[in-house]
Amino acid sequence: MATTPGRIRPWRYLAGFAGIVVVLYALVAFTGDRSFAPKLGIDLQGGTRVTLTARTESGQVPPRDQLIQAQSIIEQRVNGLGVSGAEVVLDGNNLTITVPGDQGEQARSLGQTAQLRIRPVVGQPIAATPATPPAGQQGGATAPPAGQDTGGATPPTGGNTAPAPAGGGGRPQGMSSDPAAPVVDGTVAPVAYSTALAPAQQQPTPPPGGDQDPAKAAAIAQAKATRQSTDPATQQQALLALDCNAADPLRGYDDSSLPLVTCDQNKTAKYILGPTVVEGTQIASAQASQNQQGVGYVVDLSFKSDGSKAWGDYTAAHIGEQAAFVLDGEVVSAPTIQGALYGNTQVSGNFNQQQAQDLAGVLRYGSLPLSFEASDAQTVSATLGLASLEAGLIAGAIGLALVFVYCLFYYRVLGVLTILSLILSGLVVYAVLVLLGRWIGFTLDLAGVAGFIVAIGITADSFVIFFERLKDEVREGRSFRSAVPRAWVRARRTILTADAVSFLAAAVLYILAVGQVKGFAFTLGMSTVLDLVVVFLVTHPLVALASNSKIFASPALSGLGTVAKIGAQRRRQPRETTGSGSGTSRRA
């Protein structure tokens, strides 16, 4: 005997769904960090939001393509740091970095230009003087901590170079205790000039077209005229006048083909550097590792072929001289070259593990095409995030309760099956959220919660389609049991079509949207797919089981009493018509 279309064996489908639930929660319990809590976004668990404002040398609006390139590089840096749930959104001329949880401090360094250059050190560095000497102390050289090692560049395998005091170490060898006496080639030279700048150098003409911030453009032009001058006397003036504690207008704007007067990253030494030998664009890879020849961490660099040859040729020709690793215009370390380096190179600078990893990350993905400054850094408290989560859960609970009340009032026993299906759907959704947070770093934000709330309506809509089709079949005169398979065959095509349209809309929204809207689209699309699983493996089998039960099939409990009466009347009408026709025939 052929099987009636739409008739199934309910327990097989329910067993299949139970198997899916068991597998999901087994993965939750025995894989990853075994946490049963999904990852939350910044608006639910708190975090940091940093706004970076692009700067240009002329003060003009930065080109759009450079902003997009900078956004892409910063996104790569975020992913390289292992920060999950972070966003980099382009808003006008600003880039907004959002980092959830307690990883916000890393976001503050992501806007670093990361323009690494290797420059020769001219002469010897001098100690930096404080901007405001303490009371009772005459202005003079800052005494760095004795014995502090600033590290250097050494080959990973052993030993071609030795670190030289630089950028945060003790007084460089040959340095005079007189802060006003410049040191050139290890000897003290008398001061034979005034530290005041010439009038032409004090007020340079800003580049044309700087209609946004002429003051910044003028500061950059003045710094270039003095600190990147090719005149030795001007370089010495700039060296003495340089305040390492002040904001550096040349940060990200120095010309690689010109000399540079600058400070080290610790603000304790000042350098005169020559033109760039190797650009950071020649770096092939950068990895942080523990210093095998001392304490702390180092950054291992490998160069591309052209960069490796240029660096090897330079080190071979300048043994015994210092070379400075300059990051965004500041000296990271300045080791003394003790041999030719054609292979990998290490950069050390008293880094701890986090500093080394951050530096390796920004060097690995290249320098930004623009210079950025942090115009706003906002910390979102966990308390505010908890309040947002509670508000979202309350909204979802209210929506779910309204659906429950409507289903119980209108469908009765079928409404109970709807509630049970929604609860089982929630179990699957929760397990999938936890697993996605582990596997792809998905974080649930407030927009995602809104997507789940909307998905409740989509799931309930599938139930309504099935139940209304079932009522139509009963209204036509069929029994509850015979109506279920026929109603399912006619309803499932409509359910598939409706869910396909919802999923397509969510997919398009996810592709085109930015920011938190992506979270809404993702959860909406995921819930739509899971809706099909629940309707096919749970709702339909439960209704089929209910139709085989005398208790649940009762018109008073099933909510089909009204349509059952109409169906009974339609079943009687053909008999009455047939009986009257027979009587007429007999009378004839």
Q: Is 510 within a domain?
A: yes
Same domain, yes or no: 124 and 151: yes
End-of-domain residue from the set 364, 391, 424: 364
Same domain, yes or no: 21 and 122: no
* Better-predicted residue by pLDDT, 123 or 578: 123
**What's the rounded Cα separation, in Å, for the pair 534 and 562?**
28
pLDDT digits (tens, 9 = 90+) for 400-453: 888 888 888 888 888 888 888 888 888 999 999 999 888 877 878 888 888 888
Same domain, yes or no: 149 and 256: yes
Domain count, the chain: 3
Confidence (pLDDT) at 583: 46
Same domain, yes or no: 400 and 500: yes
Same domain, yes or no: 410 and 525: yes
380 DSSP β-pair partners: 47
End-of-domain residue from the set 109, 124, 147: 109
Confidence (pLDDT) at 170: 34
Confidence (pLDDT) at 134: 40
90: CATH = 3.30.70.3220
Confidence (pLDDT) at 162: 34
Where helices occur in 258-352 by DSSP H, the ranges are: 305-317
Half-sphere exposure for 445 (CA within 13 Å, toward CB): 24
Tell me what the mean pLDDT of segment 73-78 comes to.
72
Q: Is 452 within a domain?
A: yes
* Better-predicted residue by pLDDT, 154 or 182: 154
Percentage of the chain with pLDDT > 70? 70
Domain that holds residue 100: 47-109
Same domain, yes or no: 27 and 52: no
Same domain, yes or no: 479 and 358: no
Q: Is 372 within a domain?
A: no
* Better-predicted residue by pLDDT, 391 or 384: 391
pLDDT digits (tens, 9 = 90+) for 7-18: 678 899 999 999
Same domain, yes or no: 297 and 215: yes
184 DSSP β-pair partners: 187
24: confidence class by pLDDT, cuts 50, 70, 90 = very high
Cα angle vertex 346, ends 266, 74, to 5°? 70
pLDDT digits (tens, 9 = 90+) for 249-260: 887 678 889 999
Q: Does this model's pTM top 0.85?
A: no
**Maximum pairwise Cα distance, the chain:** 143
End-of-domain residue from the set 91, 109, 127: 109
* Better-predicted residue by pLDDT, 567 or 83: 567
Q: What DSSP line would sit under 221-264, residue for residue?
A: HHHHHHHT-S-HHHHHHHHHH--TTS--TTTTT--TTS-EEEEB
- What percentage of the chain's residues is helix, strand, coil (to nearest 5)? 50, 15, 35
Q: Is 374 within a domain?
A: no
**What's the rounded Cα separation, in Å, for the pair 424 and 417?**
11
